[in-house]
Amino acid sequence: MILHAMKGNDMEQSATGERGAREVVQFLSDHGHRHVFGLPGSSMVSILYELQGTDIAYVPAIHESVAVAMADGYSRVTGAGVAMLYMFHGVANGLANLYNAWRDESPVTILSSQQASHLRTPGWTIGEGDVVNLVRPYTRLAHELSLGMSVRQWMESARRASTGPQPGPALLSLPEDVLEREAPAMPLRQSDRSQASTPDMASIAEALAGAERPLIVVGGQLRRFSGSADIERIAAAYEIPLAYETGFNDRLGVAPGHSHSLGNLGAHAMPAEQRADVVLLIGTRALNEAHPRGDWFPAARFVAHINNDPAKLEETVTAHRSLAHDPASAAAALERELAQRPAPARLLEARRKHLAEVRARDLPASQAAILSPYAPAVVALRDALDRGWFVDESVMGAVAFMRGLRSTDGHRYVGTTGAALGWGTGAAAGVAIASGEPVTLAIGDGSLRFGALGLWSIRERNLPVTIVVLDNGGYGSTRFYERSYMQRLGNSAPFPEPAYNGSDFRAVGTSTAGIIEGFGIPCTTLTPDDDVRSAVEAAWAKASDGPNAIVVPMAFE
């Protein structure tokens, strides 16, 4: 039996050791994990065996990408998630969703099984491979244990690395004999970890206080670090427009239905971005996106960027003030600083006018063309955040949802900034398991195909997930970019029509409903004349019985 407790001032040493697999399970139990996700294999049977008799449920997947996405979704709700993957094959299969978790700073721990230590070679036996180096760029900690090392100690290290203060995935590679043999127990202290300091927000407050057209851009980190309410209060009190980080957001930093929320920086909030004189980016990436544009904030005299991770400061957009700090403490400090700088009524009036103007601006035609087909689905799902969680893998539809969701509580939105598709179904399952609440998954028909195997997990647990598929006959965004490319070629374009190679699924294989029904999930396919809202309400009403799906048809071009 191992002892981790402290005795007086001395840590008690236990005389005998413990099998690694037992230590893994004990650790999970001690840290309150009620679920662990995975796809099994021979070298990890010891852990699967030891899970018996605990209150930890093993949640299986039929592809490792789904196991990682489930652990990711789960961790967004509970603060930590664990996926157990089989050797190199399993980790490699889970890598794209590990990348998503890395982008979104999700506290996911991957336990990978590994060839036994005494047989460990550079990779000459089946399934053996260097999983540590495979994942290293996308983890806060990645380590392979050797025989004799304390599994418990490394589990604790992985937990500390993944949960913060700078959170993100961690991986432990666990050789079969490390799991099966006894090792001496290591006494451990349990630290109460904190990062205590008050950031100096004076210069940022000073600039914001004097601004006529201020803008605060929020990222998912603000939500994850619990600074959302502070920024929502600041916006309302000082009449400051709010925008979401450009492109995908892992969480909504502020509520979409907040009086000052404009939507995504790259779409509905663009007029505010173009005219802003003072900008605060808080808990955001520095505006990385797949197709970067220059000239962010062309009218700004002052730009500040706050991110908890110094490596994420000013990645692609420069600032006048850069602050590596937890965004929640920064938001709280900003509120205190602003309170010392009361805004004159004239200034508040000017800001109100500005807010009304930027809100009223029409979307640029190119944006409107992309977003208007989503209107029926977005209107139908406007209150989805008040009905449970909203998991977003709607790709081109995401920026429409960021404006169209009308809830004044934004904490139940979950997306991924990583854009590695095949995440949504697994993430929805993980969120549903962790929260015990209904989940609406908005997903493109292309993403549904990437994540089809996650439908199995949703069905296997009979989860209350309403799947709303936005079906434009394949990869709409890829087709959009091909058309944009042709436009750039102009008269020199050698072919009059786009090829749409690999992005047109209209005549390929089974229908979208066929895929979903193939996994035993009931599905309704709407016609363009059907009312999406009625279908959504009917699906929500049945959510407690288990999953169901709606396919919403959309124009192909």
Contact residues toward ligand TPP (CB under 6 A) are: 96, 395-396, 419-422, 444-447, 450, 472, 475-478
- Give the span between the Cα atoms of 148 and 355, in whole angstroms: 63
CA distances 291 to 104, 247, 266, 481, Å, are 19, 10, 11, 10
Q: In this complex, which beta carbon is closest to ligand TPP, that of residue 322 or of residue 478?
A: 478
Q: What sign has the CA pseudo-torsion 179, 71, 245, 308?
A: negative
Q: In this complex, which beta carbon is closest to ligand TPP, that of residue 173 or of residue 472?
A: 472
CA distances 470 to 393, 460, 549, Å, are 10, 24, 11
Q: Quote the radius of gyration of the chain (alpha carbons, Å).
A: 25
Report, in Å, the least distance between residue 178 CB and ligand TPP: 32
Report, in Å, the least distance between residue 252 CB and ligand TPP: 19
Q: For residue 165, is the peptide bond before it cis, meaning its omega torsion is within 30 degrees of 0?
A: yes
Is there a contact between 324 and 309 (Cβ–Cβ < 8 Å)?
yes
Q: In this complex, which beta carbon is closest to ligand TPP, that of residue 439 or of residue 442?
A: 442
Q: In this complex, which beta carbon is closest to ligand TPP, that of residue 302 or of residue 475?
A: 475
Q: In this complex, which beta carbon is closest to ligand TPP, that of residue 201 or of residue 419?
A: 419
Q: Is residue 291 exposed (0-12), middle (13-18) or buried (19+ Cβ within 10 Å)?
A: exposed
Reduced to 3 states (helix: H, G, I; strand: E, B; else coil), residue 391 is strand
Is there a contact between 25 and 50 (Cβ–Cβ < 8 Å)?
yes
Q: In this complex, which beta carbon is closest to ligand TPP, that of residue 80 or of residue 96?
A: 96
Q: What sign has the CA pseudo-torsion 315, 134, 448, 539?
A: negative
Report, in Å, the least distance between residue 523 CB and ligand TPP: 16
CB-nearest residue to ligand TPP:
444
- Give the span between the Cα atoms of 368 and 486, in whole angstroms: 19
Report, in Å, the least distance between residue 141 CB and ligand TPP: 25
Report, in Å, the least distance between residue 329 CB and ligand TPP: 34
Report, in Å, the least distance between residue 466 CB and ligand TPP: 17
Q: In this complex, which beta carbon is closest to ligand TPP, that of residue 164 or of residue 422?
A: 422
Report, in Å, the least distance between residue 370 CB and ligand TPP: 9
Report DSSP state, residue 504: B
How many other C-beta atoms lie within 10 A of the C-beta of residue 484? 12
